[in-house]
Chain A
Amino acid sequence: MQKTAFPIGAVLRYFAIALYVLFALFPIYWLVKIAVTPDRLIYTEGTQIWPSNFTLDNFVSVLFLTDFLVYFKNSMIVSLGTAFFTTLVATAAGYAFSRFHFRGKTIIIALMLITQMFPLLMIIAPIYKIMAGLRLLDSLTGLIIVYTAFNVPFATFLMQGFFDGIPKDLEEAAMIDGCTRFEALRKVIFPLTLPGLAATLGFIFTAAWSELLFALMLINSDAKMTFPVGLKTFVSKFAVDWGQMMAAGTLALIPSCLFFILIQRFLVKGLTAGAVKG
């Protein structure tokens, strides 16, 4: 008789993972569920796991009857802009921190750490004042500048970590093979940093996409609102349009998901495997 070993350990492991996934995804399920529930059922069937009826009305009205597309476009501009500029600066700074010794390096690193220690609420007033002085209130450019400034320190540390993981020998070998330092960076180091770049881009993109506080303070016209601020317009004085709000939320998930699907193939580890004897 063949022994049918029941791998109880494996089962428990999968069970734990399933439980975690369920826990993590449930809010998203709820978001989508309410988005597709007809308005008249939202309160009557509020806590039912599966609504008795489905509709796409909420999506239609969000897309065609509200300013959702404007918010969406603004958020897209701000998030992509922030992700791009932050990663650009952080890559250059991270490389410098990782590879060069220069006067004041520790001080700069310490200053960058300190910027991460203030609660946002404390500095929002001065930022407002600065942006007003620069005439950058209620402008997407202003928002991109503020977001970039806030994300650069963390992104720099992230990128520095990735550069530190790439052996220095590689760019030295490239320089001996005939590269300038910049060519070595571009042809050898840069391709190996792709996972790091992807992670940083993704992280900053999502951070900018969901940022509310600064957007709320610095933007006031409907035409410049980013998505998190725009969501507020679904709350009127007397009622909250839950169905539309959730539909908008669902739609807002799409770019982040697409973005991660796009970059996830770079997120694989082990790109430097085989470079040097471990």
Chain B
Amino acid sequence: MTAITLNSINKRFGPVHVLKDISLQFDKGEFVVLVGPSGCGKSTLLRMIAGLEPVSSGDMIFGDTRVNDLEPRERDIAMVFQSYALYPHMNVERNLGFSLELRKRAAAEKKDRTSHAAGILGLDKLLDRFPKALSGGQRQRVAMGRAIVRDPQIFLFDEPLSNLDAALRIEMRIEIAKLHQRLGTTMVYVTHDQVEAMTLADRIVVMNAGQVEQVGTPLDLYSNPANLFVAGFLGSPKMNFVAHDDAALNLPSSLTNPSAQTYGIRPEHIKVTAPDDTAHLVGTIDVVERLGSDTIFYINHGATKPFVVRVPGIDRTAIGEKIGCQFQPEDLHLFDQNGQAISEHKNG
């Protein structure tokens, strides 16, 4: 069953065309993550789903109700803001229960649901505190709690973890994953963080400049990016792109394709070999980063951008050494002159 349908949604701020013909369908209970570079329109799209931003044209449909003209409060959604947006003049308990207060729910029910939410998020001891007396992580949890007491049809998150430090971020990421498992509610989540996107999402929507580049499961996008943009956007370190006429490239004809302009290969899919004829690419090591778990080589092969290689474990190969790189055919991504992936290269 579909929870949200976007039908050729457009958004204009005056002359600025921010979202262009977005059509998407999110299933009930699905965890959808929106990713894309800064300014591509993720927040705008989320705010349009929330009803905070009017739709310029197109249909926004929840279930089978068109909601274009419904106020936020009529949409049965909850939203967690990047800035938390806690009510500073209310204590944690009232912050959590404010939506129930507005719906004139009985005091007992309110108490019940706020303390349940507080329990899930470990806020039991903070119910009397005011937001100014909370740490960033605690504020974030209150913001989250405010959403879960509602038991809404749809949860919306706009970079909810981006203000937290790394450790807290991981902790909250797991909390959110557990929350989704427990509630099974449809969630739409905006993030900049690749790990959040890959780990939380049932499906990822990659956006760029107001358009949808690709929609798919995390591993689908990782293994079969539809174009150069998606290929370069997901994955860290980024996928290497090598022009088809790069002199350092030495691909056997079984791997090449006449219409391929660019070859892409992920740093983690490269085998380091001797710099001889069997290598698919040869270069000298410019920089080495040893992370303990991995070693990352930045290889100069004559192009402006270094060729990045990631090998597991600690590798002692030193700077200045010449090495060769080998790829498996199935790991090689081919793109035509329009930047679109060529998928049939394995047969040709």
Residue numbers of A with Cβ under 8 A of B are 167, 169-170, 172-180, 183, 188, 191-192, 270-277
Q: Given A176-B73, A180-B71, do A169 and B102 touch, yes or no (CB 8 Å)? A: no
Query: When A169-B83, A173-B81, A274-B134 are in contact, do A178 and B89 touch as well, CB less than 8 Å?
Result: no
Contacting pair A167 B83 (CB below 8 A): yes
Q: Which residue of A lies closest to B86 (CB)?
A: A275
Q: Interface readout for B127-148 with A: 1 if CB under 8 Å, 0 if not?
A: 0001111101001000000100
Given A172-B72, A175-B72, 7 other A-B residues pairs in contact with their CB atoms under 8 A? A172-B79, A175-B71, A177-B73, A178-B99, A274-B131, A276-B83, A277-B84
Contacts of A271 in B (CB 8 A): 88-89
Q: Which residues in A have their C-beta under 8 angstroms from that of B170?
A: none
Give chain B residues whose Cβ lies under 8 Å from the Cβ of A178: 73, 99, 102-103
| Closest B residue to A190 using CB positions | B89
Contact B52 A192 (CB under 8 A): no
Question: Which B residues are in CB contact (< 8 Å) with A174?
Answer: 87, 98
Contact A277 B136 (CB under 8 A): yes
Once A170-B87, A175-B71, A188-B87 are accepted as A-B contacts, the answer to whether A274 and B139 lie under 8 Å apart by CB is yes
Q: Does B78 contact A (CB under 8 A)?
A: yes
| Residue on A nearest B129 in the bound complex, by CB | A274
Q: Which of B63-93 contact A (CB under 8 A)?
A: 71-73, 77-79, 81-89
Nearest 5 pairs of A and B residues by beta carbon: A274-B132, A274-B131, A276-B83, A169-B85, A178-B102
**How many B residues touch A, CB cutoff 8 Å?**
32
Give which listed residue, A179, A191, A273, A274, contacts B102 with CB less than 8 A. Answer: A179
State A180–B51 Cα separation when bound (angstroms): 12
Task: Check B83–A175 contact: CB distance below 8 A.
Answer: no
Rounded to whole Å, the gap between the CB of A111 and the closest CB of chain B is 23
Q: Scan B90-110; emit 1 where CB is below 8 A from any A CB, else 0.
A: 000000001100110000000
Identify B85's interface contact among A173, A179, A180, A273, CB under 8 A.
A173
**Alpha-carbon gap, A167 to B103, bound state (A):** 24
Q: Within 8 Å CB of B130, what residues of A?
A: 274
Give, as a whole number of angstroms, the nearest-CB distance from B54 to chain A.
12
CB distance from A170 to the nearest CB of B (A): 5
Return the contact of A176 from the options B78, B84, B86, B133 (Cβ within 8 A): B78
- A191 to B89, Cβ gap below 8 A? yes
Q: Which residues in B have their C-beta under 8 angstroms from that of A270?
A: 132
Q: Are B81 and A172 in contact (CB under 8 A)?
A: yes
A275 and B87 contact, CB distance less than 8 A: yes
15 pairs of residues in contact across A and B, judged by CB atoms under 8 Å: A167-B85, A169-B81, A172-B85, A175-B52, A176-B50, A180-B71, A180-B73, A192-B88, A274-B131, A274-B132, A274-B134, A275-B83, A275-B87, A275-B88, A276-B81
Contacts of B134 in A (CB 8 A): 274
| Distance (whole angstroms) from the CB of B253 to the closest CB of chain A | 56
Task: List residues of B whose CB falls within 8 A of some A CB.
Answer: 50-52, 71-73, 77-79, 81-89, 98-99, 102-103, 130-134, 136, 139, 146, 150, 163
Docked CA distance A183–B131 (Å): 21
Name the CB-closest residue of B to A177: B99
The interface residues of chain A lying within 8 Å CB-to-CB of B83 are 167, 169, 275-277
Cα A167 to Cα B85 with chains together (Å): 8
Distance, CA A275 to CA B85, complexed state (A): 5
Q: How close is B100's CB to chain A, nearest CB, in angstroms?
A: 9
A273 touches B50 (CB 8 A): no
Closest A residue to B50 by beta carbon equals A176
Q: Which of A169, A172, A173 has the most CB of B within 10 A?
A: A173
Closest to B97 in A: A177
Among B50, B52, B77, B130: residue with most chain A CB under 10 A: B52
B131, closest chain A residue (CB): A274
Residues on the B chain within 8 Å of A272, using CB = 88
Chain A residues within 8 Å of B103, by CB: 178
Q: Which of B52, B89, B102 contacts A172 (CB 8 A)?
A: B52
- Picked from B71, B88, B163, the residue with its CB within 8 Å of the CB of A274 is B88
Contact B133 A274 (CB under 8 A): yes
Q: Which residue of B lies closest to A175 (CB)?
A: B72
Task: Check B102 against A177 for contact (C-beta < 8 Å).
Answer: yes
Chain B nearest CB: distance from A100 CB in Å? 13
From B82, B85, B99, B146, A170 is in contact (CB under 8 Å) with: B85
Which residues of the partner chain B approach A173 to less than 8 Å between Cβ atoms? 79, 81, 85-87, 146
Report Cα–Cα, A246/B85, bound state, in Å: 52
Q: How far is the CB of B164 from chain A (nearest CB, A)?
A: 9
Q: Give every chain B residue within 8 A of A276 (Cβ-Cβ).
A: 81, 83-86
The CA of A169 and the CA of B81, in the complex, are separated in Å by 8
A272 to B79, CA, bound (A): 20
Complex-state Cα separation, A177 to B78, whole angstroms: 7
Within 8 Å CB of A180, what residues of B?
71, 73
CA–CA, A176 and B150, complex, Å: 10
What chain B residues lie within 8 Å of A175 (beta carbons)? Answer: 52, 71-73
Q: Flag if A273 contacts B88 (CB, 8 Å).
A: yes
- Measured in the bound complex, the distance between the Cα atoms of B102 and A102 in whole Å is 30
Given A271-B88, A275-B85, A275-B87, do A179 and B132 touch, yes or no (CB 8 Å)?
A: no
B299 to chain A, nearest CB (A): 40
Cα A170 to Cα B87 in complex, Å, equals 7
